[in-house]
Amino acid sequence: MAKQSLTPERAREYWSKTSTLMWTVLAIWFVFGFLIHAFVTSLNTIVIGGFPLGFYMAAQGSLIVFVIIIFWYAMRQNRIDEDFGVTED
């Protein structure tokens, strides 16, 4: 699809969707980057596979979520770009 120029109204709508996606990703990142680790001692009372949940989330769980966020964000942003006709070649 060829690149097309956006009208100011469409550009605001595009930025609104992109901005909402960005803030959603930042909120998820904050939860798994800081909040989970702030409550690690409380989470350690839950044991999964022989490991305390707090340890698992600090060692692997957050990293797995971060990688999933990267792919999810790229997929959603590509969909927004396609909807507005501003995809890259």
Span 7-37, pLDDT tens digits = 999 999 999 999 999 999 999 999 998 888 8
What domain range includes position 70? 8-83
pLDDT at 1 over 80: no
Asked, for residue 45, whether it belongs to a domain, the answer is: yes
Asked, for residue 71, whether it belongs to a domain, the answer is: yes
Asked, for residue 67, whether it belongs to a domain, the answer is: yes
pLDDT at 3 over 60: no
> What's the number of domains the chain is made of?
1
pLDDT at 4 over 80: no
Asked, for residue 2, whether it belongs to a domain, the answer is: no
Which whole number is the average pLDDT over 81-85? Answer: 93
Q: Taking all residues of the chain, what is their mean pLDDT, rounded to a whole number?
A: 90
Closest CA to 15 of 84, 74, 73: 84
Asked, for residue 14, whether it belongs to a domain, the answer is: yes
Asked, for residue 53, whether it belongs to a domain, the answer is: yes
Asked, for residue 88, whether it belongs to a domain, the answer is: no
CA atoms within 13 A on the CB side of 1: 12
